[in-house]
Structure 1
Amino acid sequence: MFDIGFPELIVIAIVALVVLGPERLPKAARFAGLWVRRARNQWDSVKSELERELAADELKRNLHEAQEALRRTDQSMRRGQDDLQREFDSVGEEVRSTGAETETARDVAAASAPEAAAPATPAQGHKEGGDERPNP
């Protein structure tokens, strides 16, 4: 972190021994260790909080992307449903119009069928020659 090597640490220890003396040096070392430990704990706390925030942001972004994908899929499915409904309606109209044409043709055929089956001779019970009396 500070690029302090072993020779620099030896120089710091010698200066501390000269300044503090052999009686206060162990207490100062414990005090320095305590502060270093607290600083590391603070740094780890800040780092973990930052990682949690970044993870939460990433989750929010993924959630938003998933919601957008669902929204696009929903819109696509609705368009497909509308297209299928229109196609279904047009086929239904074709079937109804074809069915109506078929019924009309069937009605015309049925109406013309008795005329075609009717005999060309005069009706029974009438004589030719204008005598319209029934036969006994």
Structure 2
Amino acid sequence: MFDIGFLELLIVALIALIVLGPERLPTAIKVTAIWVGRIKRSFQNVRSEIERELNADEIRRDVHNAAVMDELKKAREDLEREVGSVRSDLQSATDDINAADKRNVQSADNPNDKG
């Protein structure tokens, strides 16, 4: 991550030993380790929180898409029902016209059958 080799770590440790001294160096290392652990846990918590939020957004989007699809399905069914109704009305009108045409043709063929 930081691209620090063994030699760099050794130099940092020697400088820390010179600056802090042998009495305070173990305490400084413990405190540093504690803070590094806390920072790692904080980053991990933030990361998991972001992943949960992204998952929640994805779930919300899926639910919304499902609701939209349900609305479209209902609209399609309503439209198909209306088309069926119009077709049956059209068929009834066509049948009425055909029946009227047959009566007109029959009455034209038999002029003596009036009433």
TM-score if structure 1 supplies the norm length?
Answer: 0.65
Give me the whole-angstrom Cα distance separating, in 1, the residues matched to 2:93 and 2:76: 26
The 3-state SS of whatever aligns with 2:2 is: coil
Give the Å deviation of 1:15: 0.9
- Comparing 6-15 with 83-92, which one deviates more in the overlay? 83-92
Give me the whole-angstrom Cα distance separating, in 2, the residues matched to 1:15 and 1:91: 98
Per the alignment, residue 90 of structure 1 pairs with 90
- Comparing 70-79 with 33-42, which one deviates more in the overlay? 70-79
Give me the whole-angstrom Cα distance separating, in 2, the residues matched to 1:97 and 1:85: 18
Report % sequence identity: 36
Give the Å deviation of 1:13: 0.9
Give the Å deviation of 1:50: 0.8
Point out where structure 1 has 5 or more consecutive residues left out of the alignment. Answer: 106-111, 113-136
Give the Å deviation of 1:60: 1.5
Per the alignment, residue 34 of structure 1 pairs with 34
Give the Å deviation of 1:45: 0.7
Give the Å deviation of 1:101: 8.0
Per the alignment, residue 7 of structure 2 pairs with 7
* Bigger fraction of residues in helix: 2
Give me the whole-angstrom Cα distance separating, in 2, the residues matched to 1:5 and 1:35: 22
In the alignment, is residue 19 of structure 1 matched against residue 15 of structure 2?
no
CA root-mean-square deviation? 2.6
1:35-77 Cα deviation digits (max 9, x unpaired): 0000001100111111111111111122222222222222122
Per the alignment, residue 44 of structure 2 pairs with 44
Give me the whole-angstrom Cα distance separating, in 1, the residues matched to 2:62 and 2:42: 30
In the alignment, is residue 60 of structure 1 matched against residue 76 of structure 2?
no
TM-score if structure 2 supplies the norm length?
Answer: 0.75
Point out where structure 2 has 5 or more consecutive residues left out of the alignment. Answer: 107-112
Tell me: higher relative CO, structure 1 or 2? Use CA pairs within 8 A at least 6 residues apart. 2
